[in-house]
């Protein structure tokens, strides 16, 4: 029974992986607009990674929504201006 279950899972996984690859293939080159958007997204990802590695909270929050709020475990709600790094802690990790 376990072998049948394992085989079924492998078959379903392979089928779904093949389907996902098939739906994402491109037959034409990117347009200038698509290339611009791709580069902009990659730039923001790179900035986010650099800020996370540097533990730079203001840089990490640069593209966050202006009305960002965080709810703490005790129920306290902090708005964007109240979210500040404290020594020895990182709010976003």
Q: Which residue has the tokens 């990802």?
A: 45
In a domain, 63, yes or no: yes
The predicted model gives 23-46 an average pLDDT of 88
In a domain, 48, yes or no: yes
In a domain, 79, yes or no: yes
pLDDT grade, residue 40 (50/70/90)?
Answer: very high
In a domain, 9, yes or no: no
Identify which of 68, 61, 62 has the alpha carbon closest to the alpha carbon of residue 92. Answer: 61
Identify which of 62, 57, 83, 56 has the alpha carbon closest to the alpha carbon of residue 71. Answer: 83
Mean pLDDT over the full length of the chain: 78
Q: Which helix (H) or strand (E) holds 71?
A: strand 69-71
In a domain, 51, yes or no: yes
Asked if residue 58 has pLDDT above 90, the reply is no
pLDDT grade, residue 25 (50/70/90)?
Answer: low
Task: Tell me how many domains the chain contains.
Answer: 1
Query: Residue 51 contacts by C-beta under 8 Å, 6 or more apart in sequence?
Result: 59, 60, 62
In a domain, 21, yes or no: no
Which residue range(s) make up the domain with 37?
29-84
In a domain, 17, yes or no: no
Q: What pLDDT sits at residue 76?
A: 93
pLDDT grade, residue 2 (50/70/90)?
Answer: low
The answer to whether residues 85 and 57 touch, using CB atoms and an 8 Å cutoff, is yes
Q: What pLDDT sits at residue 66?
A: 85
In a domain, 6, yes or no: no
């Amino acid at each position: 029974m376990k072998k049948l279950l394992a085989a079924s899972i492998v078959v379903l996984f392979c089928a779904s992986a093949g389907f996902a690859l098939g739906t994402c293939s491109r037959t034409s080159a990117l347009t200038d607009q698509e290339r611009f958007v791709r580069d902009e997204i990659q730039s923001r990802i790179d900035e986010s990674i650099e800020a996370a590695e540097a533990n730079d909270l203001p840089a990490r929050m640069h593209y966050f929504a202006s009305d960002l709020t965080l709810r703490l475990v005790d129920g306290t709600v902090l708005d964007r201006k109240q979210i500040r790094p404290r020594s020895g802690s990182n709010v976003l990790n």
